[in-house]
Structure 1
Amino acid sequence: MELQPGREAVVRVAVATLWTSPEAVRPVDRPALTTGADIPAWVSGLNTDQQVGECVLSQLLLGERVLVSEVRPDGWARVVAVEQPAAKLDPRGYPGWLPADQLTTVDPATRTDHPLVVDATVTGLHAEPSGPVVLPGVVVGTRLAPAGPARDGWRPVHVPGRAAPLWLLDNHLTPAPAASPAAEQALAVAQRLLDVVYIWGGLSAHGIDCSGLVHLAWRRFGVLLPRDADDQAVATTPLTLGAERPGDLYFFARPGRKIHHIGIVTATPGDDGERRMLHACYRRRRVIEEPLPADRTATLVGAHRV
């Protein structure tokens, strides 16, 4: 079936990039636009200026649902990413553009009330147990429908857009949790992304931004926080500064401006007032863990808890 405006579709590549418009993409973005969406090749080809190009809005993971708004003859689809809340942009989710061939129609076989979640930071899906990788670059937080019991340490899963199940190591999967995580559990997921390159709009272990790091860490446990930092502040519970604990969130804003940055608390504040956080750092172009420098402390506007 072809994509239809007004109907849902799902992502059929490991990681799809959501763009501001088809006209905004650059020549350097070609690897991310192909049918296979080679995100590692795309990221490795970006220079430090291109890593923060505002043509990228967000990214979507394999199996993620979208609502199709428009399909253009040139192969682009305007969609709403319904699993990435963005109340100020669209009450249904995050709007943007994707190459249409990175989407497929919804197959009931790929839907389940008891999905499996990828817990490996990055993994690949194989044609058969111990066989060749046919879908590389699948990242933590991806949800897949089981296609049968594990066999010799491998698990078959349904994959959108593919008739036959694919296989991955069973220990790379975990059942979707039934309860919200402890804050330390989400922090532990984020800590596995230390040194991942900063990509504006990134939402994967190949490249990520500050609010993407927070969104992905909690998404691993089925908690769908908003996509952007200012919306994440609205969706979380403010704390008195000094009461924060590891796994809580720090928010930053300049005087009279909206929130522009977010980090995850990694230590209880010290007696000397030192605070530490893990964050995707725009300046350093990496995910880092550090004490708050003076300029960060000057723009710290609150601590919140999920």
Structure 2
Amino acid sequence: MGVDVELQPGREAVVRVPVATLWTAPDAVRPVDGRALADDPDVPAWLAGLDHDQQVGDCVLSQLLLGERVLVTERTPDGWVRVVVRDQPAAKLDPRGYPGWLPAAQLTAATPAAGPSAAPLVVDATVTPLHAAPHGPVALPGIVLGTRLPAAGRAVDGWRPVHVPGRAEPLWVAEGDLVPLPAERPEAKEVLAVADRLRGLPYIWGGLSSHGIDCSGLVHLAWRRFGVSLPRDADDQAEATSPLALGDERPGDLYFFARPGRRIHHVGIVTAEPHGDRRRMLHACYRQRLVVEEQLPADRLATLVGAHRV
């Protein structure tokens, strides 16, 4: 698929692929990243090809989900665009959204909604495919948890038609894999339950999908599933949430970590009320390269700088 001629600086665009990866710069990508850079990226195959060290390569900034909005700020002749990601706040980097680079072919021009829209639907399955017709062939695999899909009509025989960016005709998704975007703020325990479904997922620096994720991505994605927009990075998440006295935290609250004199570098979701110095959390663990639920070991406790509530 060629680059949309409307993807020019100053214009808004939307992600047309299930998961797009946001990069620090076009020349920062590695030979192993080819599958993530394709016009139609295969993110699971890309992640499966990364070794232990490549999982934490800092060339990756974040990821975007199908339909996510960006503002184009720069375009190169060789098919890259610099963008700010509207739905991923990053106040320290850019007040408009998270900045970074994407292959232009993974975007399509934003189009205005036609008429009044129904309440948005959000993917509640960990991963689900979109089909060309009810019970028909898969047209777009790998749609992940938290993806918003505008309804294109009523359900038919357990299948729901949805609008998909860059496609003229609706695609179909199993109705049970969707839920309405909640009108009310969720309980923290509900958010924790969604995050807990990602236990065992690979840790990927900059990951923000149910194929692979990092610590702040886990927090951001779990709340996004309920329509709550938290910042993308852990230090910004700390500033956007309310501090608690240690000992007052409850399941669903957040623990933040920093080394002396350094900014916050890690976040986890509280999974149990504290008992003395014993504390538990669910987090995407850099050391284990997995999403795990565990009691905080002594060295982790030594860098705990606070508990916060969303």
Q: TM-score, normalised by structure 2?
A: 0.97
Aligned to 1:33: 37
Which of 38-47 and 129-138 deviates more? Answer: 129-138
Which of 154, 169, 172 is the matching residue for 1:167? Answer: 172
Query: SS state of the match for residue 108, structure 1?
Result: coil
- Structure 1: which 5+ runs fail to align? none
Please state if 1:244 is matched with 2:244. Answer: no
Aligned to 1:294: 298
Q: What is the CA–CA distance in structure 2 between the aligned matches of 1:67 and 1:131, rounded to whole Å?
A: 34
- Structure 2: which 5+ runs fail to align? none
Alignment of 1:100-249 (within 5 A): 100-109=104-113, 112=117, 114-249=119-254
Is this contact kept in 2: 1:187–1:264, CA < 8 A?
yes
Instruction: Describe the shift of the 1:112–1:11 C-alpha distance in structure 2 as closer, same or farther (beyond 3 A).
Output: farther
Alignment of 1:252-263 (within 5 A): 252-263=257-268
For 1:219, the aligned partner's letter is: R
Query: SS state of the match for residue 96, structure 1?
Result: strand
Query: SS state of the match for residue 218, structure 1?
Result: helix
Is this contact kept in 2: 1:116–1:174, CA < 8 A?
yes
Is this contact kept in 2: 1:85–1:94, CA < 8 A?
yes
Instruction: Describe the shift of the 1:9–1:112 C-alpha distance in structure 2 as closer, same or farther (beyond 3 A).
Output: farther
Which of 89, 95, 101 is the matching residue for 1:85? Answer: 89
Is this contact kept in 1: 2:255–2:308, CA < 8 A?
yes
For 1:89, the aligned partner's letter is: L
Please state if 1:276 is matched with 2:277. Answer: no
Q: CA offsets per residue over residues 28-68 of structure 1, 9 Å max, x none? A: 00000011111001100000100000000000000000000
Q: TM-score, normalised by structure 1?
A: 0.98
Shift of 1:108: 2.6
Shift of 1:117: 0.5
Aligned to 1:7: 11
Q: Paired residues, what number?
A: 305
Q: What is the CA–CA distance in structure 1 between the aligned matches of 2:112 and 2:13, rounded to whole Å?
A: 11
Query: SS state of the match for residue 32, structure 2?
Result: helix
> Which stretches of structure 1, 4 residues or longer, exceed 3 Å deviation after superposition?
109-113
Aligned to 1:20: 24
Query: SS state of the match for residue 155, structure 1?
Result: strand
Cα RMSD for the two superposed structures: 1.1
Is this contact kept in 2: 1:109–1:158, CA < 8 A?
no
Q: What is the CA–CA distance in structure 1 between the aligned matches of 2:251 and 2:80, rounded to whole Å?
A: 42
Q: What is the CA–CA distance in structure 2 between the aligned matches of 1:244 and 1:122, rounded to whole Å?
A: 31
Query: SS state of the match for residue 284, structure 1?
Result: coil
Q: What is the CA–CA distance in structure 1 between the aligned matches of 2:200 and 2:113, rounded to whole Å?
A: 37
